[in-house]
C-alpha cells in the first residue's frame, strides 16, 4: 500500500473544534447558543442513526438542539407548518429535514426543502443558496462536499490548477462538489451515468471524487499514479452473511496507485456532521449580525 490514508476523524475533530470556538464566541457576545433543529419523518433506521449522531455532535459542542419526530403519516401541510414554526423560532438558527422522506411525502421534497428560510438552510439545498454558490457568493453550502474541500485544504492537497473529476451529478453531492472545486480554481470535469470513456477521463485526474452510490465502482486502473481519491459513497452490502459499509472506490486496489485516499467507513462520512456543526454556527453568526 502506497497511498496516504486521509482519516476523516482527524479532520472532523479540527472542524468541530473551530465550530466550538466560534459557538463560544457567539455565547459570550450574545448570550445565545447556536441552535439546530432536525426534523425526522417516519422511522427509517439509517436516518435515525444519522439524526442521533447529529444530536450527539450538538451536545458535544454545547449547541442548542431540537429533534422533531413526526409520524410516517404526517401530511404535507403538517410538515410545512412545523418548518414555518421553526423558521420563526429565534432559538433555532439551522433547520434540517432528514432525507429520504417517507414515500407519501417524497413528491413534496423540493417544496419542503424550499420552505426552510435560506438563512436557516444548514444543508445548503435551498435554491437561493445553490444560486449563491454557483455565482461564487459566500453562503451556506452543502455539508459533505464542503467537508471534502476543507479536508483537501487541511491535508495540503493542491486544488488550484488541479484537474478534478467528480463522478456523480446529484444536487446533494456531485453538483455542489463541482462548484466548490471550481471556486477553488480546479479544472473540473463532471462525469455521470451517460459519460462515455469514463476510465480515460478519470485517468487524467489529479483529484477524483466518487459520489456514485455503486460499491467499489472506482478501480485501480481508473486512477492515475499519485492522484488523490475521495470516496463519498456509502453502500450497505452483505459480505459473508454480515452487513458491511463499503464506498464507491475499491480501496484495496486504488490505494496501491493513489497518492492519498479516504477510507469507508472512517473517511468523508465524519466530515459531514462536523460541517453541519460549522454551518449551524455560521448561520447563527449571520442571523445575529456577527
Ligand atoms: P445519487 O444516486 O443521487 O447520484 C448518483 C450519481 O452517480 C448520479 O448523478 C449518476 O449520474 C451517477 N452515476 C450512476 N451510475 C454511474 C455510472 N455508471 N457512471 C458514472 N456515473 C454514474 O447519489 P448521491 O446522493 O449523490 O450519493 C452518492 C453516494 O454518496 C451514495 O453512496 C450516498 O450514500 C453517498 N453519500 C454520502 C454522504 C456522506 O456523508 N459521506 C452524503 C451524501 C451521499
Name which residue sits closest to atom 31 of ligand 1, judged by CA. 213
Residue range 158-195, pLDDT digits in tens: 999 999 999 999 999 999 999 999 999 999 999 999 99
Rounded mean pLDDT of the chain? Answer: 97
Q: How confident is the model at residue 1 (pLDDT cuts 50, 70, 90)?
A: low
Distance in angstroms (rounded) separating the CA atoms of residues 134 and 25: 30
Q: Which of 195, 234, 263, 275 to mutate to test the pocket of ligand 1 (most atoms within 8 A of CB)?
A: 234
Cβ of 269 below 6 Å from ligand 1: yes
54 is annotated as an active-site residue = yes
**Crossing angle for the helix pair 8-30 and 268-287, to the nearest 10 degrees:** 20
Judged by average pLDDT, the poorest of 13-17, 47-51, 114-118, 192-196 is 47-51
Tell me the sheet residues that pair with 163.
187
Calculate how far, in angstroms, residue 272's C-alpha sits from the geometric centre of ligand 1: 15
Distance in angstroms (rounded) separating the CA atoms of residues 64 and 276: 13
Q: Which of 124, 211, 222, 268 to mutate to test the pocket of ligand 1 (most atoms within 8 A of CB)?
A: 211
What does each C-alpha distance from 131 to 29, 135, 278 come to in angstroms? 31, 6, 20
123 is annotated as an active-site residue = yes
Q: What was the pLDDT predicted at 180?
A: 98
| Omega before 265 within 30 of 0, i.e. cis | yes
Distance in angstroms (rounded) separating the CA atoms of residues 129 and 90: 21
Domains in the chain with CATH codes: 31-118 (3.40.50.10860), 143-270 (3.40.50.720)
Nearest ligand 1 atom to alpha carbon 167: 21
Q: How confident is the model at residue 131 (pLDDT cuts 50, 70, 90)?
A: very high
**Which residue, among 112, 41, 128, has the nearest Cα to 80 in the 3D structure?**
112
**Which residue, among 233, 229, 230, 232, has the nearest Cα to 258 in the 3D structure?**
229
Q: What average pLDDT does range 51-71 have in this prediction? A: 96
Cβ of 211 below 6 Å from ligand 1: yes
* pTM of the predicted model as reported, rounded to 2 decimal places: 0.96
Please tell me which residue in 16, 82, 98, 175 is annotated as part of the active site.
Answer: 98
User: Considering the chain, what percentage of its residues have pLDDT values greater than 90?
Assistant: 98
pLDDT at residue 289 greater than cutoff 90:
yes
In terms of DSSP bridges, do strands 242-246 and 260-261 run parallel, antiparallel, or are they unpaired?
unpaired
Q: What average pLDDT does range 46-66 have in this prediction? A: 95
pLDDT at residue 239 greater than cutoff 90:
no
Distance in angstroms (rounded) separating the CA atoms of residues 94 and 117: 9
Please tell me which residue in 16, 82, 120, 123 is annotated as part of the active site.
Answer: 123
Calculate how far, in angstroms, residue 213's C-alpha sits from the geometric centre of ligand 1: 4
Which three cell numbers, joined as nine digits, stand for 258?
Answer: 493513489
Amino acid at each position: 500500500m502506497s497511498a496516504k490514508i486521509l482519516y476523516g476523524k482527524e479532520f472532523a475533530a479540527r472542524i468541530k473544534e473551530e465550530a466550538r470556538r466560534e459557538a463560544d464566541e457567539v455565547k459570550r457576545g450574545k448570550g445565545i447558543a447556536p441552535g439546530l433543529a432536525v426534523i425526522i419523518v417516519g422511522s427509517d433506521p439509517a436516518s435515525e442513526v444519522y439524526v442521533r449522531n447529529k444530536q450527539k455532535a450538538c451536545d458535544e459542542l454545547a449547541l442548542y438542539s431540537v429533534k422533531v419526530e413526526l409520524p410516517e403519516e404526517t401530511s404535507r401541510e403538517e410538515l410545512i407548518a412545523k418548518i414555518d414554526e421553526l423558521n420563526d423560532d429565534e432559538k433555532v438558527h439551522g433547520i434540517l429535514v432528514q432525507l429520504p422522506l417517507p414515500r407519501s411525502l417524497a413528491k413534496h421534497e423540493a417544496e419542503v426543502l424550499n420552505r426552510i428560510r435560506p438563512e436557516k438552510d444548514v444543508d445548503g439545498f435551498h435554491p437561493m443558496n445553490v444560486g449563491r454558490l454557483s455565482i461564487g457568493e459566500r453562503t451556506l453550502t452543502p455539508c459533505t462536499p464542503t467537508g471534502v474541500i476543507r479536508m483537501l485544504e487541511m491535508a495540503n492537497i493542491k486544488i488550484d490548477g488541479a484537474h478534478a473529476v467528480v463522478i456523480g451529478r446529484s444536487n446533494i453531492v456531485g453538483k455542489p462538489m463541482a462548484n466548490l472545486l471550481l471556486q477553488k480554481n480546479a479544472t473540473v470535469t463532471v462525469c455521470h451515468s451517460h459519460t462515455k470513456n469514463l476510465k480515460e477521463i478519470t485517468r487524467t485526474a489529479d483529484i477524483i471524487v466518487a459520489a456514485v452510490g455503486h460499491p467499489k465502482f472506482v478501480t485501480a486502473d481508473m486512477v492515475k499514479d499519485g492522484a488523490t481519491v475521495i470516496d463519498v459513497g456509502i453502500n450497505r452490502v452483505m459480505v459473508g452473511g454480515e452487513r458491511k459499509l463499503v464506498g464507491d472506490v475499491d480501496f484495496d486496489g486504488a490505494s496501491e496507485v493513489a497518492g492519498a485516499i479516504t477510507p469507508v467507513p472512517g473517511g468523508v462520512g465524519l466530515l459531514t456532521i462536523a460541517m453541519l456543526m460549522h454551518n449551524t454556527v455560521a448561520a447563527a453568526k449571520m442571523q445575529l449580525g456577527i
